[in-house]
């Protein structure tokens, strides 16, 4: 099973930049999308259907904001829209698809762009951990793909010294994702790749992408019971439909 995760920074804009042709070439079984910035009825979904994808959308109440989706070649046994936690679901940040072998979540964790949003981010992180702790009891084979808006280690960011007081690399954020991993998850990319300078997001400013001054904030976290199923993990920086690029994992069942 080949699973991709991609913050597209607006699915309609990405489609205009060749996203559908790229998706066809990847032959992904499942792709988790974040920051759709659209409701399903605003998108020409026939393109996805022609490529053989079932598609499921969970959008924010606010138009043109946030939103997640899952596209899958195989029809899931069940799709759960949201977490059941009102403030998370108002912003359209979690959707889950259950298959025979595994359950897959597309997650868009908030960014801490200002003090109010940073406080909200911490609230979200704490409640998300509790939500997943409970969910794992019923769905132990869990993969949580998405934009976590956090770099975990210094290897995951181009300038750890100057960014240590910037949201996305704050000590409290890094500690949280460390605890989250320790609660029973594997960072599939770092599980198989130890090379530096591997990033999934670049600022639009100062020619950051061309200079590879990036952050690795997108993850495919795999629950511990699936550790031996991980065959490959990767980042696809050549895909340029967004300020992020896709990340992915392949599992054998």
- Is residue 101 a contact partner of residue 138, using CB atoms and an 8 Å limit? no
Distance of CA 69 to the CA centre of its chain: 10
Separation CA 181–CA 203 (nearest Å)? 26
The pLDDT of 67-74, averaged and rounded, is 98
- Is residue 27 a contact partner of residue 3, using CB atoms and an 8 Å limit? no
Confidence of residue 70 (pLDDT cuts 50, 70, 90): very high
pTM of the predicted structure, to 2 decimals:
0.98
User: Among candidates 18, 83, 13, 74, which has minimal Cα distance to 42?
Assistant: 13
Task: Read off the pLDDT of residues 116-147 as tens digits, 9 standing for 90 and up.
Answer: 999 999 999 999 999 999 999 999 999 999 99
Task: Name the DSSP class of 41.
Answer: G
The pLDDT of 72-78, averaged and rounded, is 98
% pLDDT > 90, the chain: 100
Q: Choose the catalytic residue: 29, 147, 156, 218.
A: 147
Q: Under CATH, what is the fold of the domain 2-251? A: Deoxyribonuclease I; Chain A (3.60.10)
User: Quick one: CA torsion of 77, 53, 91, 78, rounded to 10 degrees?
Assistant: 0
Catalytic annotation on 156?
no
- Burial annotation 35-73 (CB, 10 A radius, 16+ → b, else e): bbbbbeeebebebbeebebbbbbbbbeeeeebbbbbbbe
């Amino acid at each position: 099973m080949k699973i991709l995760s991609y913050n597209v920074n607006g699915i309609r804009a990405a489609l205009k930049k060749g996203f559908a042709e790229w998706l066809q070439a990847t032959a992904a079984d499942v792709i988790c999308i974040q920051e759709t910035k659209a409701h399903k009825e605003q998108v020409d979904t026939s393109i996805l259907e022609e490529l053989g994808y079932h598609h499921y959308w969970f959008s924010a109440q606010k138009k043109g904001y946030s939103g997640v989706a899952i596209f899958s070649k195989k029809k899931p046994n069940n799709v759960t829209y949201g977490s059941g936690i009102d403030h998370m679901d108002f912003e359209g940040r979690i959707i889950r698809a259950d298959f025979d072998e595994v359950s897959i979540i597309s997650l868009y964790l908030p960014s801490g762009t200002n003090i109010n949003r940073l406080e909200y981010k911490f609230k979200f992180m704490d409640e998300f951990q509790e939500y997943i702790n409970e969910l794992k009891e019923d769905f132990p084979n869990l993969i949580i793909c998405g934009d976590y808006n956090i770099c975990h280690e210094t290897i995951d960011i181009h300038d750890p010294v100057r960014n240590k007081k910037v949201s996305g690399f704050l000590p409290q954020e890094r500690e949280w994702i460390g605890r989250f991993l320790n609660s029973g998850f594997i960072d599939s990319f770092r599980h198989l790749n130890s090379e530096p300078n591997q990033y999934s997001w670049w600022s639009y400013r100062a020619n950051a992408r061309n200079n590879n001054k990036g952050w690795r904030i997108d993850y495919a976290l795999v629950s511990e019971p699936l550790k031996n199923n991980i065959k490959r993990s990767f980042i696809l920086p050549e895909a340029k439909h967004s300020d992020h690029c896709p990340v992915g994992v392949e599992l054998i069942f």
